[in-house]
Amino acid sequence: MRSWRPSIMTLPRRLAPYARQFGTLAVLVVLGIALTILTPYFLTVANLLNVAQQTVINAVIAVGMTYVIISAGIDLSVGSILAFAGVVLARALHAGLPVPVAIGAGLAVGIGCGVVNGLLITLGRLPPFIATLGMMSIARGAALLATDGRPISGFGSGFRWIANGQLAGIPVAVVLLAALYAAAHFALVRTKFGRYVFAIGGNEEAALLSGVPVRAYKIAIYAVGGGLAALSAVFLTARLNSAQPIAGLSYELDAIAATVIGGTSLMGGEGSVIGTLIGALIMGVLRNGLNLLGVSSFVQQVVIGVVIIAAVLLDTIFRRRKR
Amino acid sequence: MPTVISAAPSLLEMRGISKQYPGVVALEGVDLEVRRGEVHILLGENGAGKSTLMKILAGAVRRDAGSIAIGGRLCGMESPRAAQAAGVSIIYQEFNLVPHLTVAENIFLGRELPSRVPGVIAGKAMAAETEKILAQLEVAIDPQAVVSRLGVAEQQMVEVAKALSIDAQILVMDEPTSALTEKESTRLFQTIRSLRSRGVAIIYISHRMEELFEIGDRVTVLRDGRLVGTRSIAEITMAELVRLMVGRELTEHFPKQRIARGEEVLRVEGLTRHGAVEGVSFSLHRGEVVGLAGLMGAGRTEVARLLFGVDPMDSGSVWIKGRACRPTSPRRAIRNGLGFLTEDRKRQGLVLCLDVGENTCLASLDRFSTFGVMRPRAERAEATRLSNGLRIRTPGLGQRVVNLSGGNQQKVVLAKWLCRNADILLFDEPTRGIDVGSKVEIYQLMNQLAAEGKAILMISSELPEVLGMSDRVLVMCRGRLTGEFSAAEATQEAVLKCALGAPPS
């Protein structure tokens, strides 16, 4: 497998690195076809838009997770950062601050938590697992402290437009998600930032000895991860019309799952944002389909677990064949 | 002198071995016949197919075609376990030892002796057995020592002991001396000879030509995945061997060209990092190749790391092009025009999962981006130019460097610094683990770079290389500079004397 980086390859070869994404895409298509046959409710515009909106939260977090994992790191704190950023945003709105300012405050909290993660990992030399595990607890606790453990609900229609509004018949959140993925993909394959993310994940020492400012970029990567967790908090808060300090529990695991299903290697140095989007959609479609089929949520958990394992297993077998 | 027992029966017969990887034919109909009690050298440039052939023998890679027979019996070799059962043991360059286990635990890994209580390991019995094997090898290693505490040479002996403990009839050694000192190598050769006299067949891969004549009985040469031929070492000369390997005669081993020395670009005074480098002073001029000789652990790599800002210096001053500057980070050093070709290219020089073009441009992305957005066409053009100029053999710029041979990987690292236009180049063992043909190409590139007015500091453990390619030779011993010679003064004896710590006479 090759990551999604057609950067300086000749045109015919450009298709080769997409092979892995085609595989994941095929799974998504097969899943769609199966659900279309099994239930008349799946393939309707309303339901598909619903799936898209359901997927937004996970998909936004998973973009940041993809960067983090390609750089050979991990971020367990994004679910908690979502909750913390969400309650800060909610309190700012209730304090009467204009919507953009309140959103800015929420994003700042997320980016700030990410920067702290990055500092702990670079200057503190902590393993990313430990640093973000600590942050996971700290941010959750901060969210609970800031709200006394109670949800903050009821916002103006201007803010809720982010979740309810439509642009040309398409939900605003879905439009924003598409724009985010386009930007994130571009950043990964066509910018210096993206190249350095791959280089750091592939061989940190070689990157350092090539003059890559590894520390600064790592901090930036975790800041992006935290910022995107905060952005998903904006969507979630607007949709629920409520910010809850216990929101986003185990969302980090969903994001990791989407990233891994999408073909990003936990070893670092390989991966793609598009794959992650497909991974998030597979998870979204699966949940939606199982709901439509009336499968209990307990069974759903089992099915999703099986899908994660099957996706990575297939990938491993595929790679072993190529050897 | 190696003795050739011509009538010895063949122990291993590999016939018509072929292996194809997507887009590459790694091996095509290769035969290899090895006799009991011989040291059989396997020779070929990097990428000739030696490793693949050995991995097939060891069951680590599956062959597409061909047969393998040991002692006349056909063996499938479909897994490493099957190969082991057939009596094949392979010692890779990177050892397969578990660092935190003891010598005995490593030797019996996967075959632990059971004690009377089910599931419990008979530690004492294993230690005793290990001691017996080590005694056979005449090495003094404690069976209970933790492997990570042992030196490279000792770890190698543990690997040999492990092979003996499974009654290996065929022992494959891949560049066993590449990390050993001369003394340790001599020791290893003794062991190899004693194994040979016991009837073990040894397949020996190495790039060091002198070694082959010292230890080998017969040699099989591969080129581009094909068998070139098998010869008796006693009946072949080095020049013939080189010709077989590269398909052409190398007229001049060291194609050194002398360039008029230019202005001083690097001046170092009193460079110190306690415990590694003590008060090292020297200078480097344009158009000059300065060899830095010394034994392993003399502090040569440490000097390069200090100059490149990888490790902080305790004291000392550095002037680059007349300006005083303190190297505090590789980034800063690179800005000042330094480039560092590291000793370990896989771990420090290359991002193996990135492709040739991406590695080439990694240190100079600013040149190919506008406000952080890459300009792929500019990048591709420059990478193509360098790849052609250095004659990097790759199917394309999109090829991952992990798939290239050692010599070509080294050229990619070089390309990275040329792309950056570095004019003070620190080369740490630039030709280690590289085949003869690529070596000469690297030497020629060094000439060319010197002619372009670049300054090169070449750290090398191969004395002939230091003497053959340097305009000046510096010698280090235990962290100190112990000698400096002009090319005319530098002789093998004089340099070695300084390297061993004797003051120059």
Q: Searching chain B, which residue's CA lies closest to the CA of residue A2? A: B353
pLDDT at B274 over 80: yes
Q: Which of A5, A10, A322 sits opposite B22 (nearest CB)?
A: A322
Give the model's pLDDT for residue B4. Answer: 43
User: Residue B400: pLDDT above 60?
Assistant: yes
C-alpha distances (whole Å) from A131 to each of A115, A138, B136, B478, B485 are 11, 11, 50, 40, 53
Share of chain B above pLDDT 90, in %: 47
How would residue B369 be classed by pLDDT, with cut points 50, 70 and 90?
Answer: very high
Is A112 inside any structural domain? yes
Side-chain half-sphere CA neighbours of A71 within 13 A: 33
Of the candidates A192, A193, A199, which has its C-beta nearest B354's C-beta?
Answer: A199
Q: Which of B334, B349, B396 sits opposite A206 (nearest CB)?
A: B349
Q: How far apart are CA A169 and CA B203, in angstroms?
A: 72
B390/chain A closest Cα distance in angstroms = 19
In which band, very low, low, confident or very high, does the pLDDT at A17 lie, cut at 50, 70 and 90? low
CB contact under 8 A, A210 and B330: yes
Mutant choice from B52, B79, B360, B362 vs A, greatest count of A C-beta within 10 A = B362
List the domains of chain B with CATH numbers: 265-499 (3.40.50.300)
Res. A135: pLDDT tops 90: yes
pLDDT digits (tens, 9 = 90+) for B186-242: 888 988 998 899 899 999 988 777 788 889 999 999 988 889 999 999 998 877 887
3-class secondary structure, B89: strand
* Chain B residues with CB-CB distance to A183 below 8 A: none
SS3 B486: strand
A48 within some domain: no
| CB contact (8 A) between residue B369 and residue A8 | no
**More confident of the two residues B232 and A19:** B232
Nearest residue on chain B to A16, alpha-carbon basis: B398
Nearest CA to B12 among B201, B227, B232, B167?
A: B201
- Residue from the list B347, B357, B365 with its beta carbon closest to the beta carbon of A8: B357
Tell me: pLDDT of A1 over 90: no
- Whether residue A216 lies within 8 A of chain B, CB to CB, comes out as no
pLDDT at A6: 43
Residue of A nearest to B22 (CA): A322
How far is residue B334's CA from residue B328's CA, in Å, rounded to a whole number?
Answer: 11
* Partner residue facing B350 (CB), from A2, A196, A206: A206
Confidence of residue B26 (pLDDT cuts 50, 70, 90): confident
pLDDT of residue B502: 62
Residue in B closest to A269 by C-alpha = B353
Share of chain B above pLDDT 70, in %: 95
Residue A41 lies in a domain: no
What pLDDT is stored for residue B5 in this prediction?
44
- Tell me the shortest Cα–Cα distance from A214 to chain B, in angstroms: 10
Chain B residues close to A206, C-beta within 8 Å: 347-351, 362
Which residues does chain A have within 8 Å of residue B355's beta carbon, measured at their own beta carbons? 8-9
Q: Chain B contacts of A321, Cβ < 8 Å?
A: none
Mean pLDDT of chain B: 87
pLDDT at B2 (0 to 100) = 44
* B351 vs A7, A8, A203: nearest CB: A203
Q: A82-96, A120-134, A155-169, B233-247 — which is least confidently predicted?
A: B233-247
State whether B352 and A205 contact (CB < 8 Å): no
Which among A9, A270, A323 has CB closest to B398?
A9
3-state class (DSSP) for residue B503 = coil
The residue that leads in pLDDT, B178 or A139, is A139
pLDDT, tens digit, 9 for 90 and up, residues B108-145: 887 787 777 777 777 888 888 899 888 887 788 899 99
Domain total for chain A? 1
Find chain A residues with C-beta within 8 A of B386's C-beta. none
The string of pLDDT tens digits covering residues B472-498 is 999 998 899 999 999 989 887 788 788
Which SS3 state, helix, strand or coil, does residue A180 take? Answer: helix
Q: Is the pLDDT of residue A283 over 70?
A: yes
* A208 located within any domain: yes
* Closest residue of chain A to B375, computed from CA coordinates: A190
Query: Does position B158 have pLDDT exceeding 80, yes or no?
Result: yes
| B interface with A, Cβ–Cβ below 8 Å | 22, 61, 308, 310, 330-331, 334-335, 340, 342, 347-355, 357-358, 362-363, 365-366, 369, 372-374, 376, 379-380, 383, 396-398, 400, 416, 420
Among the partner-chain residues A3, A195, A270, the one whose CB lies closest to the CB of B374 is: A195
Residue A20 has pLDDT above 80, yes or no: no
Q: In what order do the strands lie in the sheet with B10-21?
A: B24-35, B10-21, B65-70, B73-75
Residue B331 and residue B310: Cα distance in Å, rounded? 9
Per the structure block, which two tokens stand in for B1? 């002198």
DSSP state of B346: I
8-state DSSP, A8: T
Count of all residues that appear for chain B in the document: 505
Q: Mean pLDDT throughout B243-248?
A: 71
Mean pLDDT, residues A123-148 taken together: 96
Residue A270 and residue B357: Cβ atoms within 8 Å? no
Which residues does chain A have within 8 Å of residue B358's beta carbon, measured at their own beta carbons?
A: 5, 7-8, 195, 198-199
pLDDT at A265: 87
Q: How many CB atoms lie within 10 A of CB B84?
A: 19
Mark yes or no for CB contact A191/B366 under 8 Å.
no
Residue A211 to residue B330, Cβ atoms within 8 A: yes
Average pLDDT, integer, range A227-243: 96
Average pLDDT of span B383-410? 89
What lies within 8 Å, CB to CB, of B139 at 6+ separation is B154, B157, B161, B191
Global pTM reads 0.78
- Judged by CB atoms within 8 Å, which residues 141-170 of A form the interface with B? none
Percent of chain A with pLDDT over 70: 92
Using a CB-CB cut-off of 8 Å, the residues of chain B touching A193 are 372
Q: Position B504: which residue type? A: P
Give pLDDT tens digits for A26-77.
Answer: 889 999 999 999 999 999 988 998 899 889 999 999 999 999 999 999 999 9
Task: Tell me the helices (H) and strands (E) count for chain B, helix number first.
Answer: 16, 22
Residue A190 has its nearest CB partner, among B22, B363, B373, at B373
Distance from the Cα of B494 to chain A's closest Cα (Å) equals 34
Quick check: A260 pLDDT over 70?
yes
Burial class (CB in 10 A: 0-12, 13-18, 19+), B243: middle
Mean pLDDT of B272-276: 91
ipTM confidence score: 0.86
Range in B181-185, B297-301, B437-441 the model is least confident about: B181-185
If DSSP codes are grouped into helix, strand and coil, which group holds residue B345?
Answer: helix
Output the 3-class SS for B291-311.
EEEECCCCCHHHHHHHHCCCC
Question: What is the nearest CA distance from B350 to chain A, expressed in angstroms?
Answer: 6
Q: Greater confidence, B121 or B384?
A: B384
Q: Is A12 an 8 Å CB contact of chain B?
A: no
pLDDT at A231: 97
User: What does the pLDDT read at residue A36?
Assistant: 94
What is the amino acid identity at position B90?
Answer: I
CB contact under 8 A, A199 and B331: no
Q: Give A198's contacts in chain B (Cβ within 8 Å).
A: 351, 353-354, 358
Q: Which helix (H) or strand (E) holds B208?
A: none
pLDDT mean over B79-93: 87
pLDDT value at position B117?
A: 78
Summarised one tens digit per residue, pLDDT across range A284-321 is 999 999 999 999 989 988 998 998 888 878 777 776 65
Give the count of Cβ contacts less than 8 A between chain A and B: 100
Average pLDDT over residues B7-31: 82
pLDDT at A14: 53
Q: Which of A5, A209, A322 sits opposite B342 (nearest CB)?
A: A209
For residue A13, what is the nearest residue in chain B, using CA coordinates?
A: B398
Whether A113 is covered by a domain: the verdict is: yes
Residue position matching structure tokens 């799946």: A42
Residue type at A169? G
Domain of A91?
A: 53-322
Q: Provide DSSP, B132-167.
A: HHHHHTT----TTSBGGGS-HHHHHHHHHHHHHHTT
How far does the CA of residue B61 sit from the closest CA of chain A (Å)?
Answer: 8
**What pLDDT is attached to residue A10?**
44
SS3 B483: strand
pLDDT at A197: 97
Q: Is residue A195 in a domain? A: yes
pLDDT tens digits, one per residue of B311-350: 999 999 999 999 999 999 999 999 999 999 998 888 899 9
Q: Which residues of A touch B349 (CB under 8 A)?
A: 206, 209
Q: What is the mean pLDDT of chain A?
A: 90
State the average pLDDT over residues B390-398: 88
Is the CB of A263 inside 8 Å of chain B's CB atoms?
no
Would residue A22 count as lying in a domain?
no
The predicted model gives B273-284 an average pLDDT of 93
Among A2, A210, A270, the residue with its CB nearest the CB of B363 is A210
Cβ pair B331:A207 closer than 8 A: no
Say if A34 falls within a structural domain. Answer: no
Q: Is the pLDDT score of B3 beyond 50?
A: no
Res. A127: pLDDT tops 90: yes
**What is the average per-residue pLDDT within B355-382?**
94
Q: Are B419 and B383 in contact (CB under 8 A)?
A: yes
Q: Which of A177, A160, A199, A166 is nearest to A67 (CA)?
A: A199
Lowest mean pLDDT among A14-28, A251-265, B57-71, B393-407: A14-28
pLDDT at A253 over 90: yes
